[in-house]
Structure 1
Amino acid sequence: MLWLSEVLMQNQDLESFQELLELVRQRAREGERFLSSDVKPPFPDTPPDWEERIEAAFTSPLS
């Protein structure tokens, strides 16, 4: 299970929501099968629909 909080803690050098989306896509390509959006990303560019965008990046890792 990929926990969003764990991704953020392990990658404190991330500077934007867009970078986080790319990392989520990468982890999905590497074989992660489940995702938990357990915390809101702390970036200024985090959109209101952040949960849906993260889920879309995870389920469509090639886009």
Structure 2
Amino acid sequence: MLWLSEVLLQNHDLESFEQLEKVIVEKAKEGEMFFRMDVKPPFQDTPANWEERLEAVFTSRTN
């Protein structure tokens, strides 16, 4: 299971929500089956619909 807090800890050099989306896509392509969003991303550009966007990039696996 992929936890958002774990992704953020392992990728502490991320500077934007867009970069986070790319990491989530890569994790999904690596075969992660489940994704849990246990924290809100701390970036200035985090959109109001951040949960929907991260879920969308995780489930698409083709970005």
- The TM-score normalised by the length of structure 1 is 0.98
* 2:31 corresponding residue in structure 1: 31
Alignment length, in residue pairs? 63
Instruction: Classify the secondary structure of the residue corresponding to 1:41.
Output: coil
Structure 1 unaligned residues grouped into runs of 5+? none
Per the alignment, residue 52 of structure 2 pairs with 52
Tell me the TM-score normalised to structure 2 length.
0.98
Q: Deviations over 1:10-61 (max 9, x none)?
A: 1000000000000000000000000000000000000000000000010002
* SS of residue in 2 equivalent to 1:14: coil
Q: Which amino acid aligns with 2:22?
A: E
Which 5+ residue runs of structure 2 have no aligned equivalent? none
User: How far apart, CA to CA, are the structure 2 residues paired with 1:13 and 1:62?
Assistant: 24
| Runs of 4+ with >4 A deviation | none
Q: CA RMSD in A?
A: 0.5
SS at match of 1:18: helix
